[in-house]
Amino acid sequence: MIWLLLLLLLAGPLVADPVRIATYQTELSRDGPGLLLRDILRGEDDQIDAVVAVIAHLDPDILLLQGIDYDAEGHALAALADQLAEAGSPYPFRLALRPNTGQPTGLDLDGNGRSGEARDAQGYGRFNGAGGMALLSRYPIGAGVVDHSAFLWRDLPGGHAADVLNAEVLAVQRLASVAAWEVPVEVEGQVLRLLTTHATPPVFDGPEDRNGRRNEDELRFWQWRIESGAVGPPFALMGVLNADPVNGDARRGTLMTMLSHPALQDPAPTGAAGGSETADFSDPDPGNLRVSYILPSADLEVQDAGVFWPDPDSPDHAILGGSDGNGASRHRMVWLDVELQGAGEH
């Protein structure tokens, strides 16, 4: 026993294993409420099988999901978690809050003379809760989760709401098209705060660029939170920003500011083919784009990072599902391995 203690002392302090955090737009949303749960429970859906295979292969410790339908009792998320546990990736801690997708505004937002349709909701959705977000974790989710999803667009300092919305819409329109949460996760005595988001695509509108302005402001919201001191390190801004630094139709001003922000770092993860793109959209327009991000606070030590997009010649390519690699989703999982020891002390 004495010689073992001596060996441990000579070896120096134990180094905690890195924490793998990931974000994944699964595109699991179905056409109506309850259908996702039905498909998971049937166990005969190739897309769901492929999504489970991708997650189990990367095996993140903390995983933010997009494109998963919300139900108030969390049945669909629990059923998916059960399948992941069977695949060797258990997630005992889970969070799903009601998203803005499908929530009625009572207004005719798209001006087609009818209200109550998908485009008239707080966030596009054919039903309440369509394509929401969820968090899966192997570490406890702490007290103090803050749901910013009800934050009104008009209340964002320096925002674009007044440029594109009339007074009636300004009074009710929320900023988050899907959801925006601050989630504290307790990792071995430290709290890692996750700033989670899923911004609207900057398309499907007209020359007023309503969706493009909203997309940029959904990211500007987090810039405001960080710069106001409302959020302190260690943290990670993560999710679908739906904006590429070079290509696509997004307004890139706030994105470029955040990618070089002194409070943040951009690990610029890449796939096996070397690109930073995270989504396989139709060619040539819009083509492959970087739309999913994890931007950790500057104090966190990033040990590794990647986009799970294996080359077609790789044996891992089959995990993505389908002959084109899009069987699980057109989107690829983005992951980081981060070291929290000493984070927040800089």
pTM score of the predicted model: 0.93
pLDDT, position 275: 85
What burial class does residue 195 get, using C-beta atoms within 10 Å of its C-beta: 0-12 exposed, 13-18 middle, 19+ buried? buried
List CB contacts of 151: < 8 A, sequence separation 6 or more.
Answer: 174, 175, 176, 180, 221
What angle is formed at CA 64 by the lines to CA 343 and CA 327, rounded to 5 degrees? 135
pLDDT, position 2: 54
pLDDT, position 6: 42
| CB neighbourhood size of 9 (10 A) | 9
Coil, strand or helix: which one is 133? strand
pLDDT, position 12: 40
pLDDT, position 3: 53
pLDDT along the chain (346 residues), means of 10: 46 66 98 98 97 98 98 97 98 98 95 93 96 98 97 98 96 98 96 98 92 97 98 97 95 97 96 85 89 97 96 94 94 96 64
Instruction: Decide: 198 and 130 in contact? Cβ < 8 Å.
Output: no
Domains of the chain, by residue range, sit at 17-339
| CB neighbourhood size of 301 (10 A) | 15
Report in angstroms the alpha-carbon separations of 31 from 28, 56, 134, 158, 167. Answer: 10, 26, 18, 36, 32
- What is the C-alpha to C-alpha distance for residues 323 and 312, in angstroms, rounded to an integer? 9
The distance from CA 202 to its chain's CA centroid, rounded to whole angstroms, is 16
CA-based nearest residue to 95, from 138, 135, 62, 147? 135
Alpha helices in 142-209 (DSSP H): 161-164, 167-170
Instruction: Decide: 289 and 334 in contact? Cβ < 8 Å.
Output: no
- What is the C-alpha to C-alpha distance for residues 175 and 94, in angstroms, rounded to an integer? 24
pLDDT, position 106: 95
Residue 147, amino acid: D
- What is the C-alpha to C-alpha distance for residues 159 and 147, in angstroms, rounded to an integer? 19
Instruction: Decide: 8 and 323 in contact? Cβ < 8 Å.
Output: no
pLDDT, position 180: 98
Residue range 17-339, CATH number = 3.60.10.10
Strand order from edge to edge, sheet including 93-95 = 93-95, 132-137, 62-68, 19-25, 334-339, 301-307
